[in-house]
Amino acid sequence: MIKQEIPKSVLKKRVKEIAERITRDYQGESVTLVCILKGGIYFFADLSRQINLEDVRLDFMCVSSYQDTETTGKLDIRLDLSEPITGKNVIVVEDIIDTGTTLAYLMDYLMSQSPKSLKLCVLLDKRARRVTETKVNYVGFEIDDKFVVGYGMDYNQQYRTYPTVGVLEESGPQHKIKNPGEK
Ligand code: IMP
Ligand code: MG
């Protein structure tokens, strides 16, 4: 059972606000949005369609540093960019920043390709769990230290298609989850 954490209307409004801010910040510029699969898929789709700029390009990466709900601290690039980002304005679009380990590795990797600018946009920020200094430029919501699913986010690949951000309710041993890093 999933319990709704962020109402759909609230989520929709916030995504629109972020798109408007990006539109303002990049007036007269072109921008490449990089979706971090799989979790970023719906946020990326909704956000990108509301950015009102002439030259918005889309690219995709699939990375992970996660095994189950434990962070491994290592970036595994399963899908890399399809176009060079050298000299481009790049915004990385990700579902959630937790410890920040995955994104710290990823931002370093992208920075080494000399983009014109590099920013980070996350829907959710679990600030209390941060262990790296990764700077986040656009944040949808700050959330408490609880494990969320839906709107692209999973628990062992399940629950991604739940239409908004939710939390798993314990309804049996199969749903008994703990937060990443919790003993
Ligand atoms: P970090 O390296 O600890 O910041 O981990 C970030 C990644 O872990 C995110 O991109 C998610 O894929 C995953 N993750 C962290 N917290 C959650 C959560 O509450 N629900 C689902 N996935 C999560
Ligand atoms: Mg992710």
For residues 134 and 120, the answer to whether their CB atoms sit within 8 Å is yes
* Domain with residues 7-143, CATH architecture: 3-Layer(aba) Sandwich (3.40)
Q: What is the reported pLDDT for 34?
A: 98
Report the residue among 41, 96, 154, 165 best suited for mutation to probe ligand 1: largest number of ligand atoms under 8 A from its CB: 96
Strand ranges of the sheet holding 56-67, from the earlier edge strand across to the other edge: 70-79, 56-67, 31-37, 89-97, 117-125, 138-142
Let me know if 98 is a catalytic residue: yes
Q: Which of 108, 112, 136, 110 is nearest to 122 (CA)?
A: 136
Per-10-residue mean pLDDT of the chain, 183 residues long, equals 96 98 98 97 98 98 69 76 98 95 91 97 94 93 96 96 93 49 43
What's the pLDDT at 132?
87
Q: Whose CA is nearest to atom 11 of ligand 1?
A: 96
Pick the atom of ligand 1 nearest to 98's CA: 4
CA–CA distance, 3 with 79 (Å, rounded to integer): 32
Identify the pLDDT of residue 140. 98
Mutation pick for ligand 1 pocket among 98, 108, 167 (CB with most ligand atoms within 8 Å)? 98
pLDDT at 102: 87
The ranges assigned to domains in the chain are: 7-143
